[in-house]
Amino acid sequence: MTGFSRLLRNQARLYTGLWLWLRRTTDRDSRENRPLTATRGVLALPMAFLAATLIEVAVLHLVIPWAWLSLTLAAVSVWSLVLLFAVVVADIAYPHYLTGQEAVLRRSGRVIARVPLDRIAAVAVCRRYNQTATAFEDGRLFLAGPDGTTADLTLRDPVTVQIDSLLPSGRIAADTTRISLILDDPTVLRTALNAPADLRPDRRHRP
């Protein structure tokens, strides 16, 4: 896949995610998959930019004498804001999710790791504030949000993590047995681990 086609696909995924968010749903709302949501604190940044953009548009309308230029700059500002919202809400629209066999971890709609449930030794509710974004430090993967992380996963055997990024500093390719992530309710994952195999999400009886 060429760089341009990859860019187009990423843009399409972001705007689809924005549409899902506006509809207050995710791409994994089904009997087969149980989303592991992480929404707290996510919208603080885009809401601040929204307020700033509205003020900017109003000021531009007053100080620029040419209507065409004022409208063009306003359109660029609004488009930038829409793109910002699409990027920020991607992890809400495309959350981590559980199947009957594994926990699928994602960033911006892209799968970065698959963790078989039988490899998870423990799920601990644990607040960490040392990371507020995706990072790999001292052998631990952080899938953090603006408020840090809320759950620690300890694995019996390592899993492979693969994160692509336009910036070399954002790329991660490593194996790990320790994962810290932000979840609204970490007990959902713990409950799924304790459930009998035939009651896990994709093995439920369909009516």
Nearest of 4, 35, 21 to residue 192 by alpha carbon:
35
**Which pLDDT value is given to residue 2?**
64
The Cβ of residue 13 has, within 10 Å, a number of other Cβ atoms equal to: 18
Q: Which positions of the chain have pLDDT values less than 70?
A: 1-3, 31, 195-207
The number of CA neighbours under 13 Å toward the Cβ of 54 is 5
- CA 91 to centroid of chain Cα atoms: 2
**Which pLDDT value is given to residue 53?**
84
Report H helices in 40-160.
Answer: 44-63, 67-88, 90-93
Residue 133's contacts (CB-CB under 8 Å, 6 or more residues apart) are 142, 144
Q: What is the pLDDT of residues 3-18, one digit of tens each?
A: 678 778 888 999 999 9
**Which pLDDT value is given to residue 170?**
83
Residue 17's contacts (CB-CB under 8 Å, 6 or more residues apart) are 27, 86, 89, 90, 92, 93, 94, 108, 109
Q: What is the pLDDT of residues 21-49, one digit of tens each?
A: 999 999 987 767 889 999 988 888 888 88
pTM of the full structure: 0.83
Question: Is residue 37 classed as helix, strand or coil in its secondary structure?
Answer: coil
**Which pLDDT value is given to residue 197?**
53
Residues in the chain: 207
CB 4 within 8 A of CB 12: no
**Which pLDDT value is given to residue 194?**
77
**Which pLDDT value is given to residue 196?**
55
